[in-house]
A and B are shown apart, each in its own frame.
Chain A
Amino acid sequence: MCAQHRYCMQDPSLEVTDKLLLEQIQPGSRVLDLGCGDGRLLARLRDERDASVLGIEIDITQHHASIARGVPVLQADLDEGLQDIPDGAFDYVVLSQTLQQVLHPKQLLEEMVRVAKQALVVVPNFGNWRIRLQVLKQGRAPVTEVLPYEWYNTPNLHLMSMHDFQDLMRLLGIEILQEIPIINHRAVEKAWLANLRAQHVLYILQRLEESSTKTESDNLLHSS
């Protein structure tokens, strides 16, 4: 996966992210997890939060693993959207470490706020100082602990900094209810120089009312 001369390891933030996500979800909620893998997070949400859960996963082995945990799961390709999920069917929709890997992140985000009241999105922060430094010093596409791939084999198609993400939310008329930077495997609610220091960020999003959505994106169009 990663070049031999550079140090990298399995993402240790998974555990942190799962815990963080778990904390955000009200007991008894309906939760949809996009790219749910083996259903690990959903099983915990079911057992610890009494949540009614559903996963979406494309990989068949992972799909079977979810079933084996008793987690209901639909096999679907996130690149084809969420057309089988009815509007507002969920309280929360979770997309953890996946947005950067889908073909159409913009459409997916719009779909997410359509199917659930709140969307919880965890993304790597490309504005992190290590990445900036690597690009600056080595003049190469960065390979880090958080983004441990070479440019030619990375599943990460869309890299963004916190500022980039915020811009897109304004464009889409999606409100950022909360922005939680994850720095050195710890969630830091109020981080100083977050865009420089965060390796990942958890965003809690919700769709703005129809009318305000329009004005927001209109404003943005006019200003640009």
Chain B
Amino acid sequence: MATQQEISEIRQHSGVGFVQTQLATLFEPPHSLKLAGGGELGPIQVAYETYGELTPAKDNAIFICHALTGDAHAAGYYEQDDEKAKPGWWDDLIGPGRALDTDKYFVICANVLGGCQGTTGPESKNPETDHSYRLDFPFITVGDIVEVHSALTKHLGIDQLLAVIGGSLGGMQVLDWAARFPDQVRGAICLATAAQLSAQGIAFNAVGRRAIKTDPEYKEGKYEKGAGPRYGLALARMIAHITYLSDQSIEMKFGRRLQDQDTFQYEMLPEVEFQVESYLHYQGKRFVERFDANSYLYLTKAMDYFDLASQYGSLTKALGKTDARFLIASYDSDWLFTTTQSKELVRALIECGKHVSFIELKSPFGHDSFLIEIEQLQKMITPFLEQAYQTRLAESAKKS
């Protein structure tokens, strides 16, 4: 058994090693952020992490957009982590020699607006009232999220990103970024995503929100920090979690196996009889410990509203202005964000003559694949970024 000291040593030297979350305060009044749904918000605090070094030419920055319940901690460990703590959520992809090679690139990941992991959201204190915003928090959209992240990159002195990359809701942000700030993005990597959430996706989000709102502890959103709709939020997560898996992955992982005994109990009250039940309960429980119910409501709603084609008139109008190179990947077992949806993007991009690569990756893990199948991503992203970077270097060499 390794000692705490030894574990700490290993962590310091693996991947990006120890990291720290940083905070930036943006949109201080009178420069408040004008929100798509009306109203203004400011100041906005943004929690972010960076890995690697920004070149003097500031041409090697890659922005990672996290998914619905992700956070800024994409890689490495915190020094204060206990030995059971896991590294950042995309650690295998980020670090020296990995796809997002921190020897070459400057990688940024920030928590989203409306989130609850350090960036201003419903849980944050409203400077006007000195209380948490809760439901007084304004309505936010994927576009608002991107506005804040774009402002963060400006704050870091970066005018143009070598690439923006993300899966699921993160992929929606990548698309929005390319449409909203066509000159800021050189490469756009969209994984397991779509230009709009399917009706089925909206339906699952609606059930999740219903679970939260009907929990007696929800109290119209005015629950105290640490309290709140624990059961409703856990239920929302359990439902969502099923949509992230595939029939095959559930079957492989749990099958019909029972948790603690070999035979049925023939009792209604125990809720954890099958292994899959136990797993979902565990996921729900863990989620409640780290996520705010109001944030969940705001972010799922932002996801439901996202519709690139209707926002700009058509997908070709939305994506026609950027010269970014696109890399679009879907997963064959993902039924929440399907290959057909990715192909809609591809079709639009071809129609407006853009540089687009597409691949349908094979994986049994459903929508979650983009978090799991790192090797596949590595093989595809490494040459894509390399090319984007070489092209950029060649261009600046030509200019000077």
- Where the two chains meet, the residues of A that have a C-beta atom closer than 8 Å to any C-beta of B are 30, 52, 54, 60, 63-64, 66-70, 72-76, 84-86, 89
Contacts and interface: CB of A to CB of B under 8 A. Distances in A.
A70 B346 CA distance: 17
B383 A84 contact: no
B351 A67 contact: no
B358 A70 contact: no
A124 B379 CA distance: 34
B95 to A, nearest CB: 21
Interface stretch (B29-37, B275-283, B384-392): B384-392
Contacts of A52: 353
B380 A67 contact: yes
Given A64-B379, A72-B325, A86 B351 contact: yes
Contacts of A64: 379-380, 383
23 contacts: A30-B353, A54-B350, A54-B356, A63-B359, A64-B379, A64-B383, A66-B357, A67-B327, A67-B357, A67-B380, A67-B384, A68-B383, A69-B387, A70-B387, A70-B391, A72-B325, A72-B355, A72-B357, A74-B346, A74-B356, A86-B350, A86-B351, A89-B350
B348 to A, nearest CB: 9
B347 interface: yes
Interchain residue pairs A-B with the least CB separation, the first 9: A68-B383, A70-B387, A75-B359, A74-B358, A67-B383, A72-B355, A72-B357, A86-B351, A73-B357
A68 B386 contact: yes
Contacts of B357: 63, 66-67, 72-74
Contacts of B343: 84
Contact of B350 (A60, A69, A85): A85
B359 A68 contact: no
A34 B223 CA distance: 59
Nearest to A71: B357
Contacts of B350: 54, 84-86, 89
B185 to A, nearest CB: 16
B360 interface: yes
Q: By CB atoms of chain A within 10 A, which of B346, B356, B357, B358 has the most?
A: B357
Contacts of A66: 357
Given A60-B359, A67-B357, A89-B351, A84 B380 contact: no
A66 B384 CA distance: 10
A207 to B, nearest CB: 19
Contacts of B327: 67
A63 B391 CA distance: 19
Among A60, A67, A69, A86, max chain B CB count under 10 A is at: A67
Nearest to A53: B355
A11 B277 CA distance: 58
A69 B387 CA distance: 7
Nearest to B353: A52
Contacts of A70: 387, 390-391
Query: Of residues B358, B379, B380, B390, which shows the largest number of chain A Cβ atoms within 10 Å of its Cβ?
Result: B358
B325 to A, nearest CB: 7
Contacts of B347: 84-86
Nearest to A76: B358
B351 A68 contact: no
B360 A75 contact: yes
A52 B327 CA distance: 16
Given A67-B327, A84-B347, A85-B350, A75 B383 contact: no
A66 B383 CA distance: 9
A85 B355 CA distance: 14
Residue of B359, B360, B384, B387 with most chain A CB atoms under a 10 A cut-off: B359
A153 to B, nearest CB: 25
A75 B356 CA distance: 11
A5 to B, nearest CB: 40
Nearest to A61: B379
B359 to A, nearest CB: 4
Contacts of B383: 64, 67-68
A193 to B, nearest CB: 42
A84 B356 contact: no
B346 A84 contact: yes
Contacts of A69: 387
A89 B350 CA distance: 7
Nearest to B340: A84
Contacts of B387: 67-70
Contacts of A63: 357, 359, 380
A166 to B, nearest CB: 31
A89 B354 CA distance: 11
Given A63-B357, A64-B383, A76-B358, 5 more contacts: A68-B386, A70-B387, A70-B390, A74-B356, A75-B359
Contacts of B360: 75
